[in-house]
Chain A
Amino acid sequence: MPKVIVKRMAALLLLALAVFLTGCGARQSVYSWPGLSVADNTVYVAVGDKVYALEAETGAQRWAFLPEEDEEKKNSLFYATPAFGGDLVFIGSWDNSLYAVDEATGSQKWVFSTQGPIVASPAVSEGMVYIGSGDGRVYALEAASGTKRWEFATGSWVWATPLVVSDSVYVSSMDHKVYCLEAESGQKKWEFKAGGAVAGGVTVGGDVLYFGAFDSKVYALEAATGQKRWEFQMGNWIWGQPLLAEDTLYVGSLDHKIYAFDATNGEKRWEFAADSAVRASPVLADSVLYIGSEAGQLYALDAATGQKKWAFSTEKGILTPPAITHDRIYVVSLDGQVQALDPGSGTSLWTFSPGEQK
């Protein structure tokens, strides 16, 4: 066989392999969306394998927390929004662990290991921490020590923050169900099966519970019994936690829209067409709804009409809910860049880039 033909064949084979391996590359590169929260003049942002505490006013870094690596914790990666309780910051990681970190210094106080990755932030209530895990369980831990009080097994991953209301804990699971548990013991009170996985958290207002699911429906249930009150069909999955303000329910959907409903009967009040999928939950301040899109737009909408007031563009996508104080909106994009914005105009006040920090 002529040499030139042999070489061409080898080149073609290598090209084919290169194309194939390029496709393979996407499989293992697990990356995350950042978590963002704000409390006591401090902005907490969990990006990649680090948690940063920043001055809310200036964006200056106060401390950074990097989980100690060991053989079993090679995949430290954060999706979750940091949560607070007492003088501790709680943050769940893809490395199966929930970390409790000192709020002032960022030093690790305790760590609790589950059997699956942790995606959501914990709920903190009355000295207890409730955390869902990719092992399909919900754990109730003592906030001060991380000691387990009880656990409850669902049929699939728990990727949403549990909601604690008086003596009940509401848990949504990827097994398509929402569970109501006794906060004290973890005993099941009721369960409701939706038509798809429930990745986002639930919201309770009065005696009604609201959530969205991967069957593209938003549901309203009786909080006490789990009986369905109404449902509304959207164009794609619902991932974010619905937001309830007075009698209006705000829901973002992967169908690129943001909806406002009459919370009592599920009647649509308005919808806003975003530029791309809306995964993150909305937040509300001073009658303005703030919500991010996958393509990187942060929208400020009139909560009553859905009219756009302004939009702020980030270079990467926004899959994390913004955080709000009385005079700032904080938004984090997929690359971990945090922007502090003026709520009135949407102009940037400061920027924090984790890649430039130690």
Chain B
Amino acid sequence: MEFFSEVWNFFFRFMLNSLLFLYDSLGRNFALSIVIFTILARLLTLPTTIKQQKNSQRMQELQPEVQRLQKKYKDDPQKLQEELSKIGYSGMMLSGCLPMLIQLPIWIWLYQSIVQALSNNPIQLLNLSKNIYSAFSHLVPLNPYFLGLDLALSPQQSGNLLGYTLVILVVATMWLQQRMMTPPSSDPQTAQMNQTMQVTMPLMFGFISLQFASGLALYFVVSNIVGIVVQYFMSGRGTLFQREPEKGGMEEKAAMPVKTGPAETVVEKGKKRGKKKKRRR
């Protein structure tokens, strides 16, 4: 456990001091440092992001087959699992989670670095002293201001309009990213879950942004924008302008997937025929 803690702290300290290095190099502009730092971290995790997306696309392509098997073995879950394993679907579920497990610590270190660098009370600064490299001690306390907004304070504490604007941007960009990332699903249950996630996640992060330092909101916004750009180059606008499938009807209509380009992953055949002209991008 102690070894795990030491490894964790090593990487956290490295991230924190990299952020401070950027701050020192970029004219001591902390907002700019967060922007560049977040972009660099997203680029660092780009290979795993791409792998995750490709995996997700492949899973969508297998959906009709999965649904067929689900119907066929609806009374025999064990056999269903076996068949899903045979076509590689179960393995994909697990390998889809792996990139997320790699990315998660990086996001936590990044987040903790921003929070600790923005220390503005004595107890927080005392903790910072344990993690800062001596070469960066002269930077303390950091200048937390960006266009008059104190990034160390929450929007509620600062009462700054820009702080609240950042919160709105967090919600908007996260919704946009979720909408582009979520593949269309012919399974009503999955579609329902996707729809719920698309609403609750942005609202939850909006709430967090309202409560915590505005520097964190800036990090969320930049991270989301990078995510949107990456997503666009990988699969276009995704389901951004697609309507959610109607409850109940889609399962019956599900047929073979039709790939028409990077933006359109899988579209049900029946739906495609009816809306062929409207769907042209």
Contact = CB atoms under 8 A, between A and B. Distances in A.
B115 interface: yes
B121 A33 contact: no
Nearest to A4: B77
B50 interface: no
A33 B123 contact: yes
Q: Which of A6, A21, A94, A294 has the most CB of B within 10 A?
A: A6
A209 B130 CA distance: 28
Contact of A23 (B97, B112, B137): B112
A254 B126 CA distance: 9
Contacts of A332: none
A31 B123 contact: yes
Contact of A237 (B137, B187, B189, B197): B137
Interface in B166-181: none
A12 interface: yes
A5 B93 contact: yes
Contact of B126 (A5, A16, A279): A279
B121 A117 contact: yes
Interface string B12-36: 0000000000000000000000000
Contacts of B122: 32-33, 79, 119, 159, 199
Interface string A337-355: 0000000000000000000
A174 interface: yes
Identify whether the interface residues of A are mostly helix, strand, loop, or mixed: loop
Contacts of B137: 196, 214-216, 237
A125 B113 CA distance: 42
A17 B111 CA distance: 13
Contacts of B121: 30, 32, 94, 117
A237 B137 CA distance: 8
A326 interface: no
B213 interface: yes
Given A30-B121, A216-B137, A277-B126, A24 B108 contact: no
A33 B121 CA distance: 11
B129 A236 contact: yes
Interface residues of B, number: 39
Contacts of B112: 23
B144 to A, nearest CB: 11
A215 B129 CA distance: 11
Contacts of A23: 108, 111-112, 115
A20 B126 contact: no
Contacts of A215: 137-138
A171 B66 CA distance: 73
Interface residue range, chain A: 35 or more
A319 interface: yes
Nearest to B189: A6
B129 A254 contact: yes
A3 interface: yes
A236 B126 CA distance: 11
A281 to B, nearest CB: 14
Q: Which of B126, B193, B208, B211 has the most CB of A within 10 A?
A: B126
B199 to A, nearest CB: 14
B212 interface: yes
B38 interface: no
Q: Which of A23, A214, A319 has the most CB of B within 10 A?
A: A214
A39 interface: no
Contacts of B104: 16, 19
B154 A157 contact: no
Contact of B193 (A2, A6, A24, A294): A6
A23 B204 CA distance: 15
A28 B134 contact: no
A332 to B, nearest CB: 15
B80 A24 contact: no
B158 to A, nearest CB: 13
Nearest to B108: A23
A214 B100 contact: no
Contacts of A294: 126
The 7 closest A-B pairs by CB, nearest first: A1-B190, A254-B129, A237-B129, A27-B115, A1-B187, A27-B212, A214-B137
Interface of B: 63, 66, 70, 80, 84, 93, 97, 100, 104, 107-108, 111-112, 115, 121-123, 125-126, 129-130, 134, 137-138, 140-141, 154, 185, 187, 189-190, 193, 197, 204, 208, 211-213, 216
14 contacts: A1-B190, A10-B193, A17-B204, A20-B107, A23-B111, A24-B111, A24-B208, A26-B115, A27-B115, A30-B121, A33-B122, A79-B122, A199-B125, A294-B126
Interface of A: 1-3, 5-6, 8-10, 12-13, 16-17, 19-21, 23-24, 26-28, 30-33, 79, 94, 117, 119, 156-157, 159, 174, 176, 195-197, 199, 214-216, 236-237, 239, 254, 277, 279, 294, 319
Given A27-B212, A237-B129, A277-B129, 14 more contacts: A1-B185, A24-B111, A24-B212, A24-B216, A26-B115, A117-B121, A156-B141, A159-B122, A176-B138, A196-B138, A197-B140, A199-B122, A214-B129, A254-B130
